[in-house]
């Protein structure tokens, strides 16, 4: 059965609620085209309430995928308010090991929570930034995390799939990246170094080592920083924070 791009586009369009989202339809279609070729690469957690995995070969499955895709795009990556209870033993160690006062530890405890919340968004913001620069290209964002270990999909000049896996840090946990068959290659890239292993490293970011296939789109740290500031400011306003 051949993949019907026109039909998938129409299903995607129904899942969109504004014009901006519609500029992602062609990316969604390509992602579904990939999944129709490699159904095992679908990553979908089932539950008792939702026991069914979507099948990209059926209209119902495509609707499920479209909803997940555009809902994830709409979801804000503004950092959450801390919701965990800090472990008091951390303060006990901070006081005795590093000499912070009890009052300092109280303040540090709260700021540490905010730092963790901020940290947790960087990976998503990095994907959003890359998509913002790549959307008009032949690269397709796998928004919604339903393609195993792949963040962007494209094709090379021979029409073979090329997959990109993006990490924010060189020490981010590896997702269980399954080996994809039949000539699909996964290229991996991380944005930042967590350790100063190389004496005199001029930069702790890794933009100069972007895979050659996504070079030429003016992707760099300075622009990423501007993107993040702008995104967070706008979301803060949108969310009424």
The least distance separating its own copies from the CB of residue 181, rounded to whole angstroms, comes to 26
Centre a 10 Å sphere on the Cβ of residue 111 and count the other Cβ atoms it contains. 10
Work out how close the CB of 144 gets to its own copies at its nearest, in angstroms, rounded to a whole number: 22
CB of 165 to its own copies, least distance (A): 19
Find the part of the chain contacting its own copies (CB under 8 A) among 18-26, 133-141, 191-199, 209-217: 191-199
Looking at the Cβ atoms of 40 and 119, the one nearer to its own copies is 119
**Closer Cβ to its own copies, 94 or 149, answer by number:** 94
HEC sequence for 175-236: CCCCCCCCCCEEEEEEEECCCCCCCCCCCCECHHHCCHHHCCCCCCHHHHHHHHHHHHHHHH
Number of residues interacting with its own copies: please give it, by CB under 8 A: 45
Q: If binding is defined by CB under 8 A, does position 96 make contact with its own copies?
A: yes
Q: Which residues in the 36-95 window bind its own copies by CB under 8 A?
A: 78-79, 83-85, 87-90, 92-94
Instruction: Please identify, among the stretches 50-58, 110-118, 147-155, 159-167, the one whose residues bind its own copies according to the rule CB under 8 A.
Output: 110-118
Output b/e per residue, 23-44; b: 16+ Cβ within 10 A: ebbbbbbbbbbbbbebeebbbe
State how far the Cα of 190 lies from the Cα of 202, in Å rounded to an integer: 17
Q: Give rounded-to-5 percent helix, strand, coil for the chain.
A: 50, 10, 40
Helix axes 25-37, 59-74, angle to 10 degrees: 130
The position carrying tokens 């006062």 is 101
Is 238 an interacting residue with respect to its own copies (CB under 8 A)?
Answer: no
- The smaller minimum CB distance to its own copies, of residues 1 and 239, is found at 239
152's enclosing H/E stretch is strand 152-155
CB of 70 to its own copies, least distance (A): 24
Q: How many residues does the chain have?
A: 241
**Closer by beta carbon to its own copies, 158 or else 176:** 176
The torsion angles phi and psi of 217, rounded to 5 degrees, stand at -110, 20
Pick one of 18, 45, 51, 97: the residue that binds its own copies (CB under 8 A): 97
- Contact segment (CB under 8 A) with its own copies among 34-42, 54-62, 142-150, 164-172 equals 164-172
Dihedral (Cα; 186, 164, 62, 53), 10-degree rounding: 60
Q: Decide if residue 103 touches its own copies (CB under 8 A).
A: no
The contact set with its own copies (CB under 8 A) reads 78-79, 83-85, 87-90, 92-94, 96-98, 100, 108-109, 111-112, 114-116, 118-119, 121-122, 125, 168-169, 171, 192-196, 204, 224-225, 228-229, 232-233, 236, 241
């Amino acid at each position: 059965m051949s993949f019907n791009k026109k039909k998938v586009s129409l299903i995607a369009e129904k899942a969109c609620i504004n014009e901006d989202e519609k500029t992602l339809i062609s990316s969604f279609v390509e992602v579904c085209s990939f999944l129709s070729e490699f159904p095992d690469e679908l990553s979908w957690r089932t539950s008792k309430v939702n026991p069914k995995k979507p099948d990209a070969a059926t209209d119902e499955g495509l609707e499920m995928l479209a909803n997940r895709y555009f809902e994830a795009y709409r979801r804000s990556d503004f950092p959450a308010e801390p919701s965990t209870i800090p472990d008091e033993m951390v303060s006990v160690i901070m006081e005795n090991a590093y000499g912070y006062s009890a009052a300092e530890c109280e303040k540090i405890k709260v700021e540490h929570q905010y730092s963790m919340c901020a940290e947790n968004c960087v990976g998503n913001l990095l994907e959003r930034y890359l998509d913002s620069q790549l959307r008009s290209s032949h690269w397709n964002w796998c928004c919604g995390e339903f393609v195993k270990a792949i963040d962007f999909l494209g094709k090379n000049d021979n029409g073979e799939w090329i997959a990109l896996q993006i990490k924010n840090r060189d020490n981010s946990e590896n997702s269980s990246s399954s080996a994809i068959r039949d000539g699909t290659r996964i290229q991996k890239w991380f944005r930042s170094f967590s350790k100063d292993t190389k004496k005199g490293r001029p930069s702790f970011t890794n933009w100069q080592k972007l895979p050659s296939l996504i070079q030429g789109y003016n992707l760099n740290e300075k622009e990423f920083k501007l993107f993040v500031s702008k995104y967070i400011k706008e979301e803060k306003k949108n969310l009424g924070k």
